[in-house]
Amino acid sequence: MSEAIKKNSANEPEQQYSLNDDRRVKVLSPGAMVAKRFFRNRLAVVGLTMLVIMFLFSFVGGLISPYGQDQQFYTTTTLKMDYAGVTENKSYRYTVADGQEFGALLQAQLIGAINDGAEEFTYKDVTYTVVEEAPEVYTVYQGSTLLVLAAKDTFTVADGSADPGFQLRLDAIRANANGETEFTSDGTDYTIDEDGNVMQAGTEIGYIGRYVVSASSGNNTAITKDFREQLVEAIEADQEEFTYTDANGTEAEYFITYDPSIDSWKITQMTETQIYDRYSSPSAEHWLGTDTNGMDMLTRLMYGGRVSLVIGFIVVIIAGVLGVLLGGVAGYFGGWVDNLIMRIVDVFYCIPSMPVIIILGSTMDALQVDPQLRMLYLMLILGFLSWPSIARLVRGQILSLREQEFMTAAEACGISAWHRIVRHLIPNVIPQLIVTCTMSLGSTIITEATLSFLGLGVKFPFASWGNIINDVNDAFVMTNYLFIWIPAGICLLVTVLGFNFVGDGLRDAFDPKMKR
């Protein structure tokens, strides 16, 4: 029986196997094995999907958005705008002669003399003469020199007329106070009508009255004589509003408000004006509404994500490069080099990072650093303060790796120390480094958002998710305009969770013994 079997087997041809045979055992490369284990982790895949969505939203969305990140939108509304102020002269007003001075102390002395009915007063050994030109109209002389006119009536120059000078003002106010309808000044005849208008050869050069009408600071429109007359009539009639039609036929409504604290009237006008389209609700034009500066919130979120992600990656790259270099040198050479670098690491661990960043941010505010340059400084500062933890990780890994056989073989082959560190040791640290950097990205983005929320990070007009949330600076906006801050918070949450999920997945993929 056994001989028959041996005979049959001897007659069968010997089977040959080759490397490309389908029946051979397939062995995955280390990278493929890590990828396979990673994609088997559902949470890691969810995190990767979240990050892909956020990257597309931030970098592609900003390109296809029809708006710019600092483009502002306006809307037309009707507002009450300050138009003019009116004061009734119940005290004396002073018109100083050309080239003379009459200060507040002299004015007080004059009022005392008028109240006492005195014809002169003395101040600092100088005697001044008081002349009553008409009822409630006085002039003051020093010797024969006329210094000032004091009267409760004022002379207002007519629209388009030149300043008539001190003498004409004096003659006009004196004639009006005496009830005269005609007077002569510097050889020229003038008339005064019953409304106090001063005319010369049929041309109005000014008017006299006790109401002073002045345009408000934000009003660039000239106050016309006709408007003044209607306004004074409305005030004397105790009206609270009146309608005025200008020379172009434009009709406008004005409101009169008396302020007893300053004994004057404030005139406001209902006018249509363009203002920022602030806190506009979500619409077809603005899917997430607008912010306090009238900017499209969706576009700001896209550009804000771009800034936050770029800052996160650059900070991690800076920290990774510094950490790998210093940690690699410390772990390989040991001795005094290791002690020196580790003491530097200890010093950096003792630095209170947040207070230092707050101080530097306040300094940049005081120096008014350009917003774009400020972002560069922010990345450098955060990266420079973040490398010690990576340096310790790399050092610990290299301390264990340098004692293994492959490093002894590399040293025996005469390979230089720098080449051994860069070519053999650091590549073996890369898996743990990738995990650490991936999980650090989330915390870096949170740090940047916190600084921007406090006003110490990215500045206007650049957007970041942190300074978008910073726009919610009071409880009213927070409770009534949820579309301003909730989307930015969701973007932060999704991105940071995505990095954490991916980091956990990479950790498990590189070291499968950590999770069964």
pLDDT digit string (tens) for 351-394?
Answer: 888 888 888 888 888 888 888 888 888 888 888 888 898 889 88
> Does residue 454 form part of some domain?
yes
63, 194: one domain: no
* pLDDT > 90? residue 24: no
Averaged pLDDT, 50-69: 90
pLDDT of residue 2: 52
339, 309: one domain: yes
* pLDDT > 90? residue 78: no
C-alpha 450 chain-centroid distance: 16
> Does residue 3 form part of some domain?
no
Confidence of residue 516 (pLDDT cuts 50, 70, 90): very low
CA angle 232, 236, 239 (to 5 degrees): 90
393, 497: one domain: yes
Residue range 193-212, pLDDT digits in tens: 877 888 888 888 888 887 87
Question: Among 32-41, 46-55, 66-75, which is the least confidently predicted range?
Answer: 32-41
Q: Which of 132, 136, 129 is nearest to 93 (CA)?
A: 136
- Cβ-count burial of 500 within 10 angstroms (0-12 exposed, 13-18 middle, 19+ buried)? middle
Q: What's the whole-model pTM score?
A: 0.63
> Does residue 13 form part of some domain?
no
* pLDDT > 70? residue 220: no
The domain in which residue 207 lies consists of 86-219
Q: How many CB atoms lie within 10 A of CB 413?
A: 8
Q: Which carries the bigger pLDDT value, residue 274 or residue 385? A: 385
Confidence of residue 46 (pLDDT cuts 50, 70, 90): very high
CB 234 within 8 Å of CB 256: yes
* pLDDT > 50? residue 53: yes
Residue range 115-124, pLDDT digits in tens: 888 888 998 8
Confidence of residue 13 (pLDDT cuts 50, 70, 90): low
Distance, in Å, from the CA atom of 456 to the CA atom of 461, rounded to the nearest integer, reads 14
Q: Which of 200, 219, 238 is the last residue of a domain?
A: 219
With a pLDDT cut of 90, the percent of the chain lying above it is 10
Averaged pLDDT, 214-229: 75
Q: Is 78 left (phi over 0), alpha (psi -120 to 50) or beta?
A: beta
329, 466: one domain: yes
Averaged pLDDT, 129-140: 89
pLDDT of residue 49: 94
pLDDT of residue 343: 92
Residue 474 per-residue DSSP state: S
Angstrom CA distances, 191 to 95, 130, 266, stand at: 21, 27, 32
315, 377: one domain: yes
CB 390 within 8 Å of CB 320: yes
> Does residue 485 form part of some domain?
yes
Residue range 471-506, pLDDT digits in tens: 777 778 888 888 888 998 899 899 999 988 888 888
Confidence of residue 513 (pLDDT cuts 50, 70, 90): low
C-alpha radius of gyration, the chain, whole number: 43
Averaged pLDDT, 271-299: 87
> Does residue 116 form part of some domain?
yes
Residue range 419-460, pLDDT digits in tens: 777 777 777 787 788 888 888 888 888 888 888 877 777 888
- How many domains is the chain partitioned into structurally? 3
* pLDDT > 50? residue 99: yes
Q: Which of 259, 276, 293 is the last residue of a domain?
A: 276
Confidence of residue 296 (pLDDT cuts 50, 70, 90): very high
Residue range 325-352, pLDDT digits in tens: 898 888 878 888 889 999 999 998 888 8
297, 437: one domain: yes
* pLDDT > 70? residue 8: no
CB 484 within 8 Å of CB 477: yes
290, 404: one domain: yes
pLDDT of residue 490: 92
> Does residue 11 form part of some domain?
no
Residue type, 321: V
> Does residue 9 form part of some domain?
no
Farthest CA pair distance, the chain: 159
495, 448: one domain: yes
* pLDDT > 60? residue 4: no
Distance, in Å, from the CA atom of 367 to the CA atom of 359, rounded to the nearest integer, reads 12
224, 260: one domain: yes
335, 451: one domain: yes
Q: Which of 219, 236, 256 is the last residue of a domain?
A: 219
pLDDT of residue 15: 53
Q: What CATH number is associated with residue 499?
A: 1.10.3720.10
> Does residue 158 form part of some domain?
yes
210, 307: one domain: no
- How long a stretch of residues is the chain? 516
Question: Among 241-245, 263-267, 425-429, 496-500, which is the least confidently predicted range?
Answer: 425-429
474, 422: one domain: yes
User: Which DSSP string do the residues of 214-259 spell out, in sequence order?
Assistant: EE-TT--S---HHHHHHHHHHHHTT-SEEEEE-TTS-EEEEEEEEE
